[in-house]
Amino acid sequence: MKSRITELLEIKYPVIQGGMAWVAEHHLAAAVSEAGGLGIIGAASAPAEVVREEIRKARELTEKPIGVNIMLMNPNAPEVVKVVIEEGVKVVTTGAGNPARYMKDFKAAGIKVIPVVASVAMAKLMERAGADAVVAEGMESGGHIGSETTMCLVPQVVNAVNIPVIAAGGIGDGRGVAAAFLLGAEAVQMGTRFIVAKESIVHPNYKEKVIKAKDIDSEITGTSTGHPVRQIRNQMTREYLRLEKEGAGLEELEYLTLGSLRKAVIEGDTVNGTLMAGQIAGLVSKEQSCLEIIEELMQEAEAVMKRGYEAWAK
């Protein structure tokens, strides 16, 4: 499966790993890149020097290209941008904001910039600002999300821009990959399935929650604050949603979630932790290596494309 994205990023398979906060560290990123996809280090809210260390550690594990995701709500984002440029990173994805102010510096450093967008308007803006591609991310995704579904967003973004589009949100197997290509995408970005990868450092309790999750087990918190976040339902989300219903203020809500993602990923606290995951968690059923995940994904995608074509042509 060749596309403008595999050419642009010089990768074997059109699969990009999501820049998941706490989860997307150097072991996972290196394993995804080694398997032929594009591994991503998620800078999230980490201090810039921690991001620098992560980049260097990933490079000890693989010579393949690795990207960095910059979470633009992080007040440290300008320092992270500096580190990414200094370390000679070749690909950056951005999330939760508009990266236009950094575009000139990225381009001058020869960095390929792939903003994650949740609307057609943002995709057009990013193309005009000089983005090399966009990730069109539907609200099926885990973590911070927009309001549109992948099924509706991807073809509309494909129609609106000339740069290649990467589909994200709700993709967890080869059928999802094939569907994304049929909608006009030229690669996929996956997060949830990589949470449970063998090389993922996520606590086994969290992985088990993802593996056991059913289709209806995620919840969106933070709608009232303008920062909707999809995660697996637990005591924390019940409490959060109750507070939101009662009209709690930002401070009280933020206090509840302070450090909660770390609690889930590192300590395995599935009661008070934030278990970010997409709706596709219901389809994720086992721990596999990144190589197994990506190769299975590609074989399935090819098989369903063939089957689909034969059924169509009958």
> Which residue among 14, 36, 39, 146 contacts ligand TUI (CB under 6 A)?
146
Considering the complex, state which of residue 114 and residue 145 has its C-beta at the smaller distance from ligand TUI.
145
- Told to check if 98 binds ligand TUI by CB under 6 A, we report yes
> Which residue among 59, 124, 227, 262 contacts ligand TUI (CB under 6 A)?
227
* Least distance to ligand TUI, CB of residue 153, Å: 11
- Told to check if 144 binds ligand TUI by CB under 6 A, we report yes
Q: Restricting to residues 5-24, name those near ligand TUI by CB under 6 A.
A: 21
> Which residue among 71, 113, 166, 294 contacts ligand TUI (CB under 6 A)?
71
Residue with the CB atom nearest ligand TUI in the bound state: 143
# chain residues binding ligand TUI, by CB under 6 A: 18
Q: What is the spatial distance between Cα 275 and Cα 38, in angstroms, rounded to a whole number?
A: 24
Query: Which of these segments, 25-33, 144-152, 237-245, 262-270, binds ligand TUI (CB under 6 A)?
Result: 144-152
Query: Which of these segments, 5-13, 114-122, 178-186, 231-239, binds ligand TUI (CB under 6 A)?
Result: 114-122
Which of 6, 56, 57 shows the shortest CA–CA distance to 36?
A: 6
> Which residue among 48, 92, 118, 265 contacts ligand TUI (CB under 6 A)?
118
- Told to check if 116 binds ligand TUI by CB under 6 A, we report yes
CA-CA-CA-CA torsion for 218, 224, 225, 231, nearest 10 degrees?
A: 0
- Told to check if 143 binds ligand TUI by CB under 6 A, we report yes
Which of 208, 198, 178 shows the shortest CA–CA distance to 30?
A: 198
- Told to check if 298 binds ligand TUI by CB under 6 A, we report no
- Told to check if 188 binds ligand TUI by CB under 6 A, we report no
Matching residue, tokens 């800078």 = 43
- Told to check if 95 binds ligand TUI by CB under 6 A, we report yes
